Each structure stands twice: as structure tokens, then as C-alpha cells.
Chain A
């Protein structure tokens, strides 16, 4: 019997496909998310919009908060650690969460290195803005990838940019003659062996979700149409005027992303989405997507 294999790590992500993972900060919110059809929850002390507002250093959540959420629901529970923070990751592993997000939403702990994620039994998800970043994270052991987008903004434009870049670079890689692959690997800063795995498989070897700015059912459907396997919604649910309804509507839109009639039906009379932020209003050094190396 074997535990912690790459197949078990990527396999759990496969089971989350077509689903919505929701940020929650209390057991009550977790129950609302589960009832609405979330396929997993991300346990946090603050949603990204509040982290952005609070400023300062954002760290791993209090294990007591995470444990209370694990107790409240039967679906998988994820939690975030700072980029490169091995000790926080070991703490979350000891707490027993189902997935760890090495996340740019928190303040990075290491300005050069990400975690060696192969070294853990618990699987990791990481953000990526392009194929090189995605493959570097996979080389470090990430079993799931998500777009970075720009968290806490309610503005989908960065997530769209990131998935378009990843898909475009994937198409380019698949079209190259073999002798041009090493040069392209160098250009992307991606490991050559993984570039070959992608070519053999015809796509990324792990699941790729959308994250960072998704706040309406239509946003979720858009990201699925662009080729994402599922959706993370951070501030979009519990910063909206009617969280339960928003949660249900986004779940249904993610399943039926190609069915405009269903999308129209779930978008009707939803109430106010979370307040949005124009990206140009955020100073470049304040943009979370710039974190990660």
C-alpha cells in the first residue's frame, strides 16, 4: 500500500473538476458553501478583498479556524501557506487539511524559492500566469495549477489574461517541431522534460483551475469556456449581497458553462455582486500576481 503518490495528489484534483472551490472564514460559511454545492472550501481568516484592505503581512490562518471548518463540512478543505514557508506547510499537513495552496494572496516568506512540494504527503495547488510558471510549479511538485488573476478585485480581466497566455503557449508548444522544443523551454524558463510530457499528453499533466477575480456566474462560465477545469471563488461569494444564491448560481453556471439558457436563468435577479476594483487603480507593487518566481 502506498500513500502520497503523485497519482493520489493529482487524482484528488481530478475529482474536483467541473466544480467550485469557495473561500470561507467561518464554519457557518463553510456549511452554506457545501449546501450550495461547493466541491471544496478554502479555509481562511480573511478573504482576499479584506487582506488587500488590511494591508500589512498576511500569514497562514490560525489552525483553530481551519480545524473548526474541517469539522463543519464533509467536502475537502484547503488552506493557504505563504510562498516558500516550509514550517507553515508542515503545520497544515499536521492539521490534516486535504490540499495546501502555496499562495501569492499571502505575503511571500521566500523571495527566491517555492516549496519542494514533492516532500509532502498532502498535495499542493499553485498559481501561474503563464506556461513557464505552471511547469516550474509542477516540477516542484504542485499537483494542481490555477490562474493567479488579481485576487480580491472582483475583476476577471487578469484571470482571463493568464488562462489565454497558458492556453496560447500550450498550443504553440504542441505545434513545434522537436528540435525547437529545447529553445522554447529556455525561453519559457520551463523544465525540458515537462515540456515533453505536455507534448506527449497533449496538455498540462495536472488540472488547471481559474482563480483571482471571478465574481459572477458569467465570469465562472467564461473561464470554463476558455479552458479551465474548474473555479476558485474567493471574495465573490461572501462579499456579495446574497452569498447562498450567488454560490448556487456559480455552481450551476460552472456545470452548464456552454448552455446560455441556463446561464441566463441563474444570472437573473441575483442582486449586487461584490464591489469591483479597476486593475490600474492598484499600484504595481501592490499586485498579488507579481509574487512568485
Chain B
């Protein structure tokens, strides 16, 4: 019998439960990460076949990532090729550079695995939050997409593939991207009943595990 995929969901703050439910619905085993499991140079994170960074407040999560000593080990996992998916605040944590709604750079703790610059609250405040339907290239057509005080990517390096754009205050802006096995969306598939995005991410995790997974 094949072992189910084991996904670590960062559970410091935010909508981690919704990701957990979605991943479990797709057949994965999920462990919530609040501190390092410990017990190895990788901090025990190597037991996972993939990592999910949920939506929430990126400043809150950033502060706790530093406090708990999780920032470096998570970054190392991503650099070693472990699949990582971040939604909304998770996207912000993944980007190399973060800017505020006014375009000024913000210094906040982040993993920096995505060669991209992200603008926080790019569409505005809660009154400007919106729902729409999107085609995400290679993943799913006509997906429900929920944008809540959402960020967008304002610029990205050549290694980043844009899977979807949405018309925003800065013109058509990337809201779903991929760089190798690192994925990020501005929107929240976990708040809908549509599990296609999570199923697709799990396929990437399975491929990675089948190819040998974490370098020992």
C-alpha cells in the first residue's frame, strides 16, 4: 500500500484549518506546524512531502516565524526542492521583496523563495475585496477565486511563470505564479468548494516524492 502524502501546513495564525480540510479531502495526511518538530539538521521538516503557507496576516506570521526559529528551516526546505504553496499572506511570505499599497518597500520577515516583488493590499482595503472566476494555466479552468485584501505580484524574474492575471490598479497583474516547485496565489482556493488547485499541488508533491524527495 502506498503511504498517503504528508503535508505540513503552517499553523501560526490564519486560515490553516481550511487548507487542512481541503488537503485531507484530497487524501493527504496533514500535520500543523507551530514549532520545529526537531530531531534532525532539517528540524524534522524533511518528513513532509510538501508545505502549505495559509492566508492570514503576513506580519503576524512573519513575527512568529522568527520567534519560533521556523524561518530558516522552511527556507532551506524550499531551496532543497520541497514543493511549497502559499495563498495570499503565504504568497507574501514567499516573495523576495515586499512593498506596501503605496509602492514603498517594507522590511518584514519572509522566505524569499520566489524571485518576485509583491504589493500588499494591492486592490485596496476590505471594501475592495472581490470574488471572480479565473482560468489558471495548467491547473483548472473557470475556478472560483476569492480575493480578500489581496496582494499582487508587481514584477518577477525570468524563472517565474505566470499562471493567471487579473486586471488591477496596476493593469493586468499576476495572481497565480510558479517557480519550479514553489506556487503562490493571491486568492484563496481553500475558501471555496473547489479542490482542483490542492489536488494539482498534491500531484507535484507526489512527483517529487517519487523522484526521491528530500536529499538525504
Chain A bound to chain B? yes
Q: Is the CB of A74 within 8 A of B120?
A: yes
Asked if B126 and A98 sit within 8 Å, CB to CB, the answer is yes
Please tell me which one of the listed residues B12, B17, B127 contacts residue A93 in the complex, with CB atoms under 8 A apart. Answer: B127
Q: Which residues of the other chain, B, contact A255 by a CB distance below 8 angstroms?
A: 11-13, 34, 64
Is A11 among interface residues, defined by CB-CB distance under 8 A? yes
**Given the complex, which residues of B lie within 8 Å of A40, measured CB to CB?**
57
Whether B67 lies near A252 (C-beta < 8 A) is yes
Residue of A7, A14, A18, A99 near B131 (CB, 8 A) is A7
| Binary contact readout B111-153 vs A (1 if CB under 8 angstroms, 0 otherwise) | 0000000001100011111111000000000000010110000
List residues of chain B with CB within 8 A of the CB of A96: 125, 127
In contact, A98 and B125 (Cβ under 8 angstroms): yes
> In this assembly, does B25 line the interface, its C-beta being within 8 Å of a C-beta of chain A?
no
Give chain A nearest CB distance to B55 CB in angstroms. Answer: 5
Cβ-defined partner of B148 (8 Å) among A15, A19, A34, A35: A15
Within 8 A of A (CB), among B37-68: 55-57, 59-60, 63-64, 67
Pair A15/B127 contact, Cβ less than 8 Å: no
A101 to B101, CA, bound (A): 25
The residue on B at minimum CB distance from A93 is: B127
CB <8 Å contact, A8 and B130: yes
Q: B121, A74: Cβ atoms under 8 Å?
A: yes
**Distance between Cα atoms of A40 and B148 in the complex (Å):** 14
Q: Of all chain A residues, which has the CB nearest B11?
A: A18
Chain A neighbourhood of B34, CB < 8 A? 255-256, 259
Q: Please, how many angstroms separate the alpha-carbon atoms of A16 and B54 in the complex?
A: 11
> Judging by beta carbons under 8 Å apart, are B63 and A19 in contact?
no
In the complex, what distance in Å separates the CA atom of A18 from the CA atom of B17? 10
User: B165-192, CB under 8 A of A: which get 1 and which 0?
Assistant: 0000000000000000000000010010
Q: How far is the CB of B35 from chain A (nearest CB, A)?
A: 8
In contact, A39 and B57 (Cβ under 8 angstroms) = yes
Residues on the B chain within 8 Å of A76, using CB: 57, 125-126, 149
A residues near B22, Cβ cutoff 8 Å: none
Return chain A residues, CB-CB under 8 Å to B63: 35-37, 251
Mask of A107-120 contacts with B, CB within 8 angstroms, 1/0: 00000000000000
**A17–B149 touching, CB < 8 Å:** no
Cross-chain contact A11 with B14 (CB below 8 angstroms): no
B207 within 8 Å of A by Cβ? no
A97 vs B128: C-alpha distance in the bound complex, in angstroms? 11
Assess whether B56 is in contact with A123, with CB atoms less than 8 Å apart. no
In the complex, chain A residues whose CB is within 8 Å of the CB of B127? 3-4, 93, 96, 121-122
Q: Is A75 interfacial (CB-CB < 8 Å)?
A: yes
The reply to whether A11 and B148 form a contact with Cβ atoms under 8 Å apart is: yes
Beta-carbon contact of B60 and A17 below 8 Å: no
* Chain A residue contacts of B59, Cβ below 8 A: 34, 37, 74-75
> Which of B59, B121, B126, B130 has the most chain A CB within a 10 Å cutoff?
B126
Q: Is the CB of B149 within 8 A of A39?
A: no
Interface residues in A10-55 (C-beta closer than 8 Å to B): 11-12, 14-19, 34-40
Enumerate B79-122 residues with CB–CB distance to A below 8 Å.
Answer: 88-89, 100-101, 106, 120-121
Residues on A with beta carbons closer than 8 Å to the beta carbon of B57: 15-16, 19, 39-40, 75-76
Specify which chain B residues have a CB less than 8 angstroms from the CB of A251 in the assembled complex.
60, 63-64
The B-contacting residues of A in range 162-177, CB under 8 angstroms, are: none
In the complex, residue of chain B having the shortest beta-carbon distance to the beta carbon of A262: B35
- A-B pairs with lowest CB-CB distance, top 8: A98-B126, A37-B63, A39-B57, A18-B13, A14-B15, A19-B13, A8-B129, A39-B60
Chain A interface (Cβ < 8 Å from any Cβ of B) = 1-5, 7-8, 11-12, 14-19, 34-40, 70, 74-76, 93, 96-99, 121-123, 251-252, 255-256, 259, 262
12 contacting pairs across A/B (C-beta < 8 A)? A11-B129, A11-B191, A14-B191, A15-B15, A15-B56, A16-B57, A17-B13, A18-B13, A19-B60, A37-B63, A39-B14, A255-B64
